[in-house]
Amino acid sequence: MKRIKTFIENMSLTQQLVSLVLISIFLFGFFLLSYIFTNINNIAQNQMFSLIHRSQNAVIENFYNFYPEETLFSNSDPTIVHYVIYTDDSQDIMTNSATQIGIDLFSEFTSKIGTQTTETSDNITVLSQPNVAYTTTKIGNDVWIVSFMVTNTMNQFKSALINEVVNIILIMVGLIFLFLMAWVGYLIHSLKQIELYINTYKKGESVELVINRHDEIGELATAIVTMNKELKRQEELKEEMIHNISHDLKTPIATIKSYGESIKDGIYPYDTLEASVDVIIEHASRLEKKVHSLLLLNRMEYLIQDAKPGKTDMKSVVEKAIRSVKVLKPEIKLITELTSCSYLGQEEPWRVVVENLLDNALRYAKTQVEIRLTKDELSVYNDGIRIPEDRMEQLFKPYERGSGGQFGLGLSIVHRVITAYGYKIRIHNEDNGVTFIISLENRMKETEYLN
């Protein structure tokens, strides 16, 4: 079984589809022919018996209409032999056959006639020697009609029927095969277009993908085009971010270097030694913060994966985060409404989440920031500018920056942490400001995480 699976996996999609088509056609033909050959005898026999009855009924009708012997069999099938037998003392026989019936066969017929008690009978008997099928019917006092057909006629009918059915099956199979091969070709062509698009795009060349399909392949093509556009946009944002970071890092590095060289030469660029060293420390802190933001985005994923399952006291985390960031803008009023509760995950990632949300809120707030915590959600509100609707989802992607943002990594870190713990974040524009809301996406996630 494993070898068969490996063999199929090593086949191309074209080979798999063609093989599937051929196997389907073979099974269809096999079962159809099996059914026909199984029932062909019954079909041919029923057809033969129907011919015998129709021909005999025509002779009986002529007999009741007192047709003379010359025209008695005029309406009957010429392949059917009829004997009108008088069983009285005359023992007369009328027939449409050029030869008289053999004594053995006549004895067989008469023995059957002797057992007939009804006026008509649908019973048809097939003799093995010779190969004859016949029926006997009483049509008057001491008058019987015996009609028979040699079974070679049935064999000829069977051969003709089989040939016709086989021809029809071959035509149907051929048409189905052509149709399926055309469909396979159309399917493979679309996939080849997608492959060519990906390979061309991978080389950095300009290319377009146009597939006018609305099935799964069309959806796949649309998803790939959308993904490539997003990757291109992300790459442009990343390049812009690297350019901005390089520019931002250049200033503190140059300042630290120049101030250090000046102090070494005994010159204090900022009046006094202490003031000049304070400038160096300030720029070193800025540099450290920028580098920390870059490293944190990558480190956070490993921190989440390596952490042991558990819960975190969110009230304690929020209080610690508030103490850390409130000194950044002491003029902004911080309003809190905290309920003692626990959230899934570890304390360090959650503290980074809360600090980033508070730092973002303080950056845009005009007069106040409100933090509310319940067992179901954590919300952070600021009375700053509203966020355009088309920008809300983009803000959680790496390197995306708001109008007053710094690196475009803070909210990306927030999104990465909360989604890993089974939470979701959304942005809601208020009448005067913006609220970031974190809530548990699925209650089942809590059980899965802890187990």
The model's pLDDT over 317-364, given as tens digits with 9 standing for 90+, comes to 999 888 878 777 888 899 999 999 999 888 888 888 898 899 888 888
Q: Locate the domains of the chain by residue range.
A: 1-205, 216-293, 308-450
Specify the 3-state DSSP secondary structure of 368. Answer: strand
The model's pLDDT over 212-255, given as tens digits with 9 standing for 90+, comes to 777 777 888 888 888 888 788 777 767 766 766 676 677 678 87
Q: How far apart are CA 76 and CA 54, in angstroms?
A: 8
What is the pLDDT confidence band of residue 303, given thresholds at 50, 70 and 90? Answer: low
Written as one letter, the residue type at 231 is L
* Stretch 90-106: mean pLDDT: 65
The model's pLDDT over 17-69, given as tens digits with 9 standing for 90+, comes to 777 777 877 787 777 777 777 777 777 777 778 888 888 888 888 888 888 88
- Are the C-beta atoms of 445 and 424 separated by less than 8 Å? no
- Are the C-beta atoms of 221 and 55 separated by less than 8 Å? no
Q: How far apart are CA 112 and CA 104, in angstroms?
A: 13
Q: How far apart are CA 382 and CA 348, in angstroms?
A: 24
The pLDDT of residue 392 is: 75
Q: How far apart are CA 374 and CA 304, in angstroms?
A: 23
The pLDDT of residue 46 is: 78
What is the pLDDT confidence band of residue 370, given thresholds at 50, 70 and 90? Answer: very high
Residue-by-residue DSSP string for 14-30: HHHHHHHHHHHHHHHHH
Say what percent of the chain tops pLDDT 70. Answer: 76
Tokens of residue 201, six digits: 């795009």
State in Å, rounded, how far the first CA of the chain is from the last one. 35
Question: Can you say how many angstroms the Cα of residue 349 is from the centroid of all Cα atoms in its chain?
Answer: 37
- Only one residue has tokens 């008058």, namely 143
Task: Give the dihedral of Cα atoms 201, 205, 206, 207; nearest 10 deg.
Answer: -50
Tell me: pLDDT of 116 over 90. Answer: no
Tokens of residue 13, six digits: 């999609």
Tokens of residue 392, six digits: 């809300």
The pLDDT of residue 227 is: 85
The model's pLDDT over 169-203, given as tens digits with 9 standing for 90+, comes to 788 778 877 887 787 777 788 888 888 888 887 77
Helix and strand tally (H, E) in the chain?
A: 10, 12
CA distances from 62 to 96, 139, 289, 332, 424 (A): 13, 11, 117, 119, 94
- Only one residue has tokens 């202490």, namely 274
Q: How far apart are CA 55 and CA 77, in angstroms?
A: 5
Quote the crossing angle between the two packed helices 216-264 and 152-202, to the nearest 10°: 20
CATH number of the domain at 308-450, please?
Answer: 3.30.565.10
Give the CATH class of 216-293: mainly alpha
